[in-house]
Amino acid sequence: TDNKPKEIYDEVEYYITHEYTDENVNQVYMFTYIRKLDYNTDNYGKIYFKHFSGYQFFEVIWIDRCVGLFNIGNNKYILDRERI
Helix (H) or strand (E) holding 16: strand 11-21
Torsion angle, alpha carbons of 9, 15, 21, 24, to 10: -10
> In the predicted model, is pLDDT for residue 84 greater than 70?
no
The share of the chain scoring above pLDDT 70, in percent, equals 95
pLDDT in tens, 30-61: 999 999 888 899 998 889 999 888 899 988 88
What was the pLDDT predicted at 71?
92
Beta pairing partners, 56: 34
In three-state secondary structure terms, 81 is helix
Sequence-separated (6 or more) residues with CB below 8 Å from residue 59: 29, 30, 31
